[in-house]
Each structure stands twice: as C-alpha cells, then as structure tokens.
Copies of this chain bind each other. A is one copy, B any other.
Amino acid sequence: MGEKIKVGVIGAGRIGKIHASNIIKNFPDVEVKAIADICADNIREWAVGLGISTVYDDYKKIIEDPEITAVIICSSTNTHSQITIEAAQAGKHIFCEKPIDYDVDRIHAALAAVKKAGVKFQVGFNRRFDHNFKKVKELIQSGEIGDVQIVKVVSRDPAPPPIEYVKVSGGMFLDMTIHDFDMVRYLTGSEVTEVYANAGVLVDQAIGEAGDVDTALISLKLKNGAIGMIDNCRKAVYGYDQRVEVLGTKGAISVGNDTPTTVVVSTEDAVVNDKPKYFFLERYMESFEAEMKDFFYSIAHDTETVVSGIDGLKPVLIGIAAQKSYKEGKPIRLEE
C-alpha cells in the first residue's frame, strides 16, 4: 500500500458530514486532513470527535494546502463551480456534489478548468452506486432484456422541503428530477433528445406561488429510439418512493422499494407490510460510501471516474429543457 490520499472536505452540512464520516470509517488509506465550513465553530466539536483536528472557515485554506490532493465539495450549490475551478487550478482531484451549477456557462467553465488541469472529477450522482439500480444497469448491459424500449423512473419524496428551500432550489426539475435524468442516462447509456413536462401544483399551493411545480410526469425521447417517463412528486405520504422499470425486446426489469424489514403483519383488519425506507439518508446511505470508494479508486489507479463532468452537465441541460417545456406547454428538443 502506498501513501495515504489526503483529502479536504469543503462544506460540512448533512452530506459533507456523511462523506467525512464514511471516509474515516471505511477508507484506511484515505485521511481527512482538513474540513472547511463557513460556520466552522458549529462543527468543530463534531470534527474533533471524528479525529479531524483541522477545521477552517475558509475553504481556500484547503485549496492552498499542498499535502491535500483531493477535495470533496459539499458546500452550497452556488459555490460548486467556483470551488471546482480553484481546486482544479491547484491540481486537486475533485468530488463535487450535484448539481455542478444551475448555470450552463459556469458548468462549462468548471469542466474546462478540470480538463485543463487533468485532475479526476466525479459528480455526486450517488444513485448509480445503489445496489438495486446498479444491478439493473448490469442486467441491461449484459443483454438480459435485449434492446431497451421503455424506461420509467418513479421518484417521489415523502414530504416537500421548506418553502424557503423551494425558492432557492432551482426548481423541482433541477433540484429533484436531476437525479432521475441521470438515472435514465445511466441505465440506457443513451442521451435524451426531447423532453415534455406534464406537471402541476397538486401538493402545496405555496410551491406554485414560489413559481415551482410539485408533481410531474416527464416524457422523454432517447437517441437510441427508446422512450422514457419520470414520475415525480414532492409528497408521497407513504414514504420515499424510488423505483425503476425497464422494458426491452427480450424482457423487463423492475426494482421495488427497499424496506426496513421483511416483516408482514396479518390481522383481522389487514395484511400490512413495511413502508419504504423513510428518506434518502436511510435509503441511499450505502451508496454514499460506494461512490467515495470509486472516487478514491480512480485516483489511486488513475482511471476514469464513473460519473464524469459530462454526466454532471447533461442532466442540467435536460432539467432546463423540462422547465421550458412546462412553461411553453410543448416538447423541447435538446441540441446536440
């Protein structure tokens, strides 16, 4: 085993904490050398408890540390592209939470900086690393169901985020559906060429007043001829609903929800099963570790990252097209 990879974590909100903790627990060959957060004081105790002694309030300190060879960008979305550029210029490998940016030009600038620097760059589309969806991908790739004809994603949250969050979220298509756009690209290995968003405000009128939608069925055309559909809702009272179905010429694949247990209770009233795991933290916890593993592997073995810069860009382009489709009430073609 060579030297440890030294990383700096930028942003210690919920997901930043998860990544930092996962690295410390599960990657003996990686060291979290420093963590930066604009509210450094709030996280100091947590960091020390984990064994991270260096806590900055300015991420530039991490960029400037020559011993740190990789950064995990978990700060607020509007800072992703800028920090990516600075980290790339400093020659650091980059794991960047999704989305890279809501602004396409800024994404291009970030990707250009990454390209120029020749550093590894991975976007945090963690669902690609989920046990269920990974298996679907493998089955499709193995030819098990022939050529893909229809791909369908159900992705519903248990409850809408606070309205303050909705207002700055970039809209449901960029905030929530972006994962599903990535899933469609990941599973089919093809590009979306057209998008039509059938959507509405059916959960909370306040979301509509904030200029957003909360429920959508998004119709997709793919380059390989297949057609697709994404089903989103900000509120599914029974829990976090994360499913996929794929129909191919030789068969179909479906993925149901994960549940906390397999317990079934039968009484005079009903036969009751577990609800889905509550939300993304419970549901996707293992994938957060798996994506890190992959990131560090690509650094250690100098391989391509599994989720590239283009993979970060494309879903944003589709999301913007979906917004336009909804506004104009017609399908929108994506440019080549």
**Contact residues of A with B, CB < 8 Å?**
1, 25-26, 28, 49-51, 131-132, 135-136, 139, 144-145, 147, 149-150, 152, 156, 196, 198-200, 202-203, 215-217, 219-221, 225-229, 231, 233, 235-239, 241, 247, 249-258, 260-268, 270-275, 329-331
Contacts and interface: CB of A to CB of B under 8 A. Distances in A.
A265 B253 contact: yes
A75 to B, nearest CB: 26
B254 A227 contact: no
B251 A237 contact: yes
Contacts of A331: 196, 329-331
Given A215-B227, A219-B217, A330-B330, A268 B199 contact: no
A45 B227 CA distance: 48
A268 B237 contact: yes
Q: Lowest 3 CB-CB distances: which A-B pairs, in order?
A: A251-B267, A238-B266, A256-B262
A278 to B, nearest CB: 12
Counting chain B CB atoms within 10 Å of each CB, the highest count among A200, A239, A262, A266 belongs to A266
Contacts of A273: 270-273
Contacts of A229: 198, 217, 219, 229, 231
A138 to B, nearest CB: 9
B252 A238 contact: yes
A216 B226 CA distance: 10
Contact of A252 (B28, B219, B266): B266
Contact of A145 (B202, B262, B265): B265
B149 A215 contact: yes
Contact of A136 (B156, B263, B268, B272): B263
A235 B268 CA distance: 11
Given A131-B260, A135-B261, A271 B267 contact: no
A196 B250 CA distance: 27
Contacts of A149: 202-203, 215, 233
B236 A247 contact: yes
Contacts of A217: 150, 152, 219, 227-229
A250 B236 CA distance: 8
Contact of A263 (B237, B255, B329, B330): B255
B263 A253 contact: yes
Contacts of A235: 249
A203 B281 CA distance: 40
A198 B198 contact: no
8 contacts: A28-B50, A135-B261, A150-B215, A229-B231, A238-B252, A238-B267, A254-B263, A270-B273
B227 A200 contact: yes
A250 B268 contact: yes
B200 A268 contact: no
B263 A132 contact: yes
Nearest to A271: B273
Contacts of A203: 149, 249
Counting chain B CB atoms within 10 Å of each CB, the highest count among A135, A202, A250 belongs to A202
A334 to B, nearest CB: 14
A231 B131 contact: no
Nearest to A252: B266
